[in-house]
């Protein structure tokens, strides 16, 4: 119909070639009648409009301001475009060349004209179905310094422009129950400018009561007793509802701007909003909200309690993985839908890191870590701490870099810390955590804990620390009433360094038990020297020396701002189920390719743990976070795994049973014959034939145990049926207790 009217009224006789040319059609249109019903209704001038019959006509342009179509509006306001394919291009009032500000108006043509007439700002009009955000991005691409706002008919019409709890900055809307054109017609241009200069505070999915309007200047209430709206306070909006993980403790999330202009958030109990509003007002004032009318404060709280919000948050006690979301200090990573788990005070999805944010870290750190096995395992431990929470049942474990000073151990720790930010904020000393290790471990749930200088911790504490960190749970405690307190738990990786290993540390105290093999799984002791003549490094990548490479890595690590952590977690959380499956697949591949054929249970568990670190590296490479080729992470971790295995095979202590048999073979001749009765002088014990058995006195028992803890020796030999601690009577002597060892139990 419109195309026919254009042909009839502008081109006589119709010519298909000319009729398809919007610019020529526009040139043939006469100027609009200033008294046109559409213009009169909103008290608008005709501006650039022209007319075809009873249609007002405006030119549709591209961003170079070339006419590509026409928009037509009839007296009732019905609108259409010709040709149809140009329906989402803008009508431009003013010019994009020169101004520093523009407003995109999505809605009626009259709204765009009212804003332009009132403000003089360049206005781009698009119909309601157009993507205003896409147009805004295109304008900013060609005019990056321009301030571009989007004028909507209401906050509800703005769509999902941002995350709940945070203001949508680029949107302006007219007062409730008004359109921009009606505001111009009833209150004039100054009213339109007022709502542009002091706009409403807009949040997605927030519907405020009609009697409450929140603008940049503050919160305004309308009252039947007053002639106009009253400013009650600074701006404050209820933006979301939240509860804890047990679905109790419901609270309302309030956004407000304090007296210094800073945007703040505060959670208040829903019961206080409804039953004790003055308590809420007191908290807001204490947090910096300006209160202009204390007498209306309770009324304001009632309106905030009536505000309808769609967003839900689950406030969790600690960070880490919660289902398919990762809760971190910078926000929550994962699908932004449904009830979002958050920590108190961080009510937002975390920002995705742009790819270029990783370039500096990749060039200055990751490139030099590639091919260096000890740096690879350090990075794998840091990345594995972020991924470990995806694997149910995976116990906490750590890697200890052991070696003399000045070979680069601290550099390995700093490289690992650079995943999370400046290493000085991540690395702790063993001694600083001795008294509060449980609390420190709980705060590092689903991430890495980095500990330096094992030598600084007491041997007794070292025994406890090795088990505590790996067990993933603190000690049970009782409160003042005798009831049990909640036990702290965690799931993490930890990276440690020291000139000695945990076994040597424990052995510093004579009364301390020696390290058991189970601790080797919890804290994997690795020689920090890669054995290539450069200390920690297998290759120095063209640097003058290992020390020169260490200096470079240490400087580069301090420049990190945690970009890698954010990027890796974001990639993991994009599809947590898929990430979980990939981690398991990569770990199984590592075990299949590298586990020794003669592996015992301890070796299998260690290689499984190290396989997680290799899998984390491979997954980071797959996601583009770690700029390494496929297999590089696997190779680096495998080199460390085999170095650990070779060292264990070479220095593995004999089992208690083996040690007992070896001692008996060497010392049986020193035992007195049982049948001869009590020996006249001091002896270690007696030997009895048929079946052969050794009856050891306490002195002989201590000699047999040697460096093996007596309790461990006793438990092991009893379990194997080789030991009884029982009374016996030597021929002609009194009854006394012996450690009775049978070397060939039946």
- Residue 249 φ/ψ region, left for φ over 0, alpha for ψ in the -120 to 50 degree band, beta for the rest: left
Q: How many CB atoms lie within 10 A of CB 592?
A: 9
From 520, 540, 574, the end of a domain falls on: 574
**pLDDT tens-digit profile of 620-629?**
999 999 999 9
- Asked whether residue 581 is domain-assigned, the answer is no
Same domain, 561 and 662: no
Q: Do residue 517 and residue 427 come from a single domain?
A: yes
490 vs 7 pLDDT, higher one: 490
CATH code for the domain of 472: 3.40.50
pTM of the model: 0.75
Beta bridge partners, 473, equal 489
Q: Per residue in 284-330, pLDDT tens?
A: 999 999 999 999 999 999 999 999 998 899 999 999 999 999 999 88
Report if residue 50 sits inside a domain. Answer: no
Q: Are residues 545 and 671 in the same domain?
A: no
Residue 224: its pLDDT value, please?
61
Same-domain check for residues 380 and 511: yes
**Mean pLDDT in residue range 726-745:** 87
Whether residue 310 sits in one domain with residue 366: no
Listed range (2-16, 102-116, 391-405, 646-660) with the worst mean pLDDT: 2-16
Q: 566 and 480, same structural domain? A: yes
CB-based contact 545:535 (threshold 8 Å): no
**DSSP assignment letter at 595:** S
Tens-place pLDDT, residues 107-142: 999 999 999 999 999 999 999 888 999 999 999 999
347 occurs within a structural domain: no
Mean pLDDT of 234-242: 95
- If asked whether residues 553 and 672 sit together in one domain, one would say no
How many structural domains comprise the chain?
A: 3
585 within some domain: no
Q: What is the mean pLDDT of residues 443-462?
A: 84
Same domain, yes or no: 567 and 474:
yes
Which residues constitute the domain of residue 469? 355-574
Q: Which of 530, 551, 574 finishes a domain?
A: 574
Residues 218, 234 contacting (CB under 8 angstroms): yes
Q: What DSSP character marks residue 640?
A: H
Percent of the chain with pLDDT over 90: 62
**HEC assignment per residue over 62-128:** CCCCCEEEEEEECCCCCEEEECHHHCCCCEEECCCCCCCEEEEEECCHHHHHHHHHHHCCEEEEECC
CB atoms within 10 A of CB 453: 18
Are both 562 and 415 inside the same structural domain?
yes
The answer as to whether 642 is a domain residue is: no
Neighbours of 53 (CB within 10 A): 11
CB atoms within 10 A of CB 211: 16
Per the domain annotation, does 527 fall within a domain? yes
Same domain? For 668 and 555 the reply is no
- Which residues sit opposite 213 in a β-bridge? 220
365 shares its domain with 497: yes
Give the residue with greater pLDDT, 195 vs 466: 195
Say yes or no: 525 and 432 in one domain.
yes
pLDDT single digits (tens) 206-227: 889 989 999 999 999 986 665 6
| Domain C-terminal end among 574, 609, 632 | 574
- Measure the CA angle with vertex 66, ends 65 and 68; round to 5°: 120
Provide the mean pLDDT of the chain: 88
* Mean pLDDT score, 603-619: 96
Whether residue 689 is contained in a domain is answered as yes
Residue 81 within a domain? no
């Amino acid at each position: 119909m419109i195309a026919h009217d254009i042909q009839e009224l502008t081109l006589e006789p119709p010519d298909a070639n000319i009729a398809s040319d919007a610019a020529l059609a526009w040139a043939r249109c006469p100027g609009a009648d200033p008294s046109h019903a559409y213009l009169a209704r909103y008290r608008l001038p005709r501006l650039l409009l022209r007319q075809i019959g009873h249609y007002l006509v405006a030119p549709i342009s591209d961003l170079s301001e070339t006419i590509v179509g026409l928009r037509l509006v009839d007296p009732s306001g019905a609108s259409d475009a010709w040709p149809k394919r140009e329906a989402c291009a803008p009508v431009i009032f003013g010019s994009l060349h020169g101004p520093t500000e523009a407003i995109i108006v999505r809605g009626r043509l009259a709204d765009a004209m009212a804003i332009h007439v009132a403000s003089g700002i360049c206005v781009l009009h698009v119909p309601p179905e157009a993507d205003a955000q896409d147009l805004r991005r295109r304008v900013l691409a060609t005019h990056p310094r321009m301030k571009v706002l989007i004028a909507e008919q209401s906050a509800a019409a703005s769509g999902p422009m941002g995350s709940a709890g945070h203001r949508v900055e680029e949107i302006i809307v007219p007062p409730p129950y008004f359109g921009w054109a009606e505001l111009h017609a009833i209150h004039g241009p100054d009213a339109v400018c007022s709502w542009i200069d002091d706009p409403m505070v807009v949040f997605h999915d927030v519907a405020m009561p009609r009697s409450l309007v929140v603008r940049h200047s503050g919160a305004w209430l309308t009252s039947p007793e007053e002639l106009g709206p009253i400013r009650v306070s600074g701006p404050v909006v209820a933006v979301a509802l939240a509860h804890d993980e047990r679905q109790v403790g419901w609270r309302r999330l309030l956004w407000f701007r304090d007296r210094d202009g800073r945007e703040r958030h505060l959670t208040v109990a829903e019961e206080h909003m409804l039953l004790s509003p003055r308590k809420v007002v007191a908290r807001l004032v204490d947090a910096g909200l300006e209160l202009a009318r204390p007498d209306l404060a309770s009324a304001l709280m009632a309106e905030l309690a009536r505000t309808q919000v769609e967003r839900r948050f689950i406030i969790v006690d600690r960070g880490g993985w919660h289902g398919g979301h990762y809760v971190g200090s910078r926000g929550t990573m994962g699908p932004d839908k449904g009830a979002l788990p958050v920590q108190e005070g961080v009510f937002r999805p975390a920002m995705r890191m742009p790819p270029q944010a990783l370039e500096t870290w990749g060039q200055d750190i990751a490139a030099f870590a590639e091919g260096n096995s000890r740096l690879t395992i350090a990075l794998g431990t840091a990345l594995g701490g972020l991924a470990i929470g995806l694997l149910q049942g995976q116990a906490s474990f750590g890697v200890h870099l052991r070696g003399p000073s000045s070979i680069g151990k601290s550099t390995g720790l700093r490289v690992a810390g650079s995943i999370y930010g400046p290493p000085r904020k991540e690395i702790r000393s063993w001694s600083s955590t001795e008294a509060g290790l449980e609390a420190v471990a709980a705060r590092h749930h689903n991430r890495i804990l980095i500990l330096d200088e094992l030598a600084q911790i007491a041997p007794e504490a070292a025994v406890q620390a090795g088990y505590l960190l790996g067990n993933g749970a603190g000690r049970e405690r009782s409160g003042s009433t005798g009831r049990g307190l909640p036990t702290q738990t965690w799931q993490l990786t930890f990276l440690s360094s020291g000139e000695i290993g945990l076994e040597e540390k424990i052995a510093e105290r004579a009364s301390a038990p020696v390290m058991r093999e189970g601790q080797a799984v919890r804290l994997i002791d690795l020689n920090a020297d890669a054995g290539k003549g450069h200390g920690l490094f297998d290759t120095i990548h063209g640097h003058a020396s290992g020390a020169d490479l260490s200096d470079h890595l240490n400087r580069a690590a301090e420049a990190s701002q945690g970009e890698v952590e954010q990027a890796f977690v974001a990639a993991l959380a994009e599809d947590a189920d898929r990430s979980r499956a990939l981690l398991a697949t990569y770990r199984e591949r590592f075990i299949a390719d590298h586990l020794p054929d003669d592996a015992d249970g301890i070796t299998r568990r260690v290689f499984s743990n190290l396989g997680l670190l290799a899998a984390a590296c491979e997954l980071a490479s797959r996601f583009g976070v770690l700029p390494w080729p496929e297999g590089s992470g696997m190779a680096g971790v495998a080199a460390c795994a085999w170095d650990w295995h070779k060292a264990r095979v070479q220095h593995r202590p004999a089992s208690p049973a083996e040690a007992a048999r070896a001692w008996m073979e060497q010392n049986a001749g020193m035992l007195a014959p049982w049948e001869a009765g009590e020996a006249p002088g001091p002896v270690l014990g007696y030997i009895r034939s048929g079946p052969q058995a050794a009856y050891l006195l306490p002195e002989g028992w201590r000699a047999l145990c040697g460096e093996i803890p007596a309790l461990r020796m006793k438990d092991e030999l009893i379990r194997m049926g080789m030991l009884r601690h029982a009374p016996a009577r030597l021929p002609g002597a009194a009854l006394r207790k012996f450690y009775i060892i049978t070397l060939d139990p039946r």
